[in-house]
Amino acid sequence: MKQPIDFYFDFTSPYGFIASRRIEALAAKHGRTVNWHPMLLGAVFKLEGVQPPVSVPIKGEYLKRDFERSARFHGVAYRTPSPFPVATVAACRAYYWLAQKEPAKAVALAKALYGAYFEKGTDISDVENVVKIGASMGCDAGELRAALGDQAVKDKTRAEVDAAVARGVCGSPYVVIDDEPFWGVDRFDQMERWLATGGF
């Protein structure tokens, strides 16, 4: 049986967002499923001692242009949100809280959170916005709000982020296929060939 594809991403990553709109179709084409792993790139930046790339002079301006161009190239609806980037701790916690109960619904929530931010400009760093998005999908608003502050949910999120860093996740999106890592939305052609041929 073919292994699932592991898909790591940060909810504030435009490239991760673009990948989120393509990864399942790619997997299904090759008889795979996808394990979704939201994480926090801030942990990676802290470990590396670097700033978020969009905050770096010259590079940041290029990236903003590339985000929009890459979305057009991949046929993904996108608009640069404001504020950008944002903290995504609440979104991560919401995902992992729901994933422990309803994994498929958690993936739908991840897609909704991504869409709210990069298509509608909703600030998903705001706990109440995360709660509203969850409630729109049938989650109990009070239960979700409480979960975002629950220590067990905090611990689960931290454990998942630590596991991602330990695995070598260094950006978003970061995709692992049969233990082979691919970093970046510009690696989709390579992933396609890898899945089709079993390596190259």
Domain chopping of the chain, boundaries: 5-197
DSSP 107-153: HHHHHHHHHHHHTT---TTSHHHHHHHHHHTT--HHHHHHHHT-HHH
- What integer pLDDT is reported at residue 144 of this predicted model? 97
- For 25-50, b/e burial (b = at least 16 CB within 10 A) is ebbeeeebebbbbbbbbbbbeeeeee
Which residue's structure tokens are 């393509």?
Answer: 22
List pLDDT tens digits, range 73-96. Answer: 999 999 999 999 999 999 999 999
Q: Is the pLDDT of residue 11 over 80?
A: yes
* pLDDT at residue 198 is higher than 90: no
First to last CA, the chain: 21
Give dist(CA 10, CA 164) in Å, integer. Answer: 11
Segment among 25-39, 45-59, 128-142 with least mean pLDDT: 45-59
Q: How many CB atoms lie within 10 A of CB 24?
A: 17
Crossing angle for the helix pair 89-99 and 151-167, nearest 10 degrees? 100
CATH of domain 5-197: 3.40.30.10
pLDDT at 43: 84
The model carries a pTM of 0.94
Interatomic CA distance for residues 37 and 92, integer angstroms: 9
pLDDT of res. 75 = 96
Q: Is the pLDDT of residue 25 over 80?
A: yes
| pLDDT grade for 174, boundaries at 50, 70 and 90 | very high
CB atoms within 10 A of CB 198: 9
Give per-residue pLDDT as tens, 124-170. Answer: 999 999 999 999 999 999 999 999 999 999 999 999 999 999 999 99
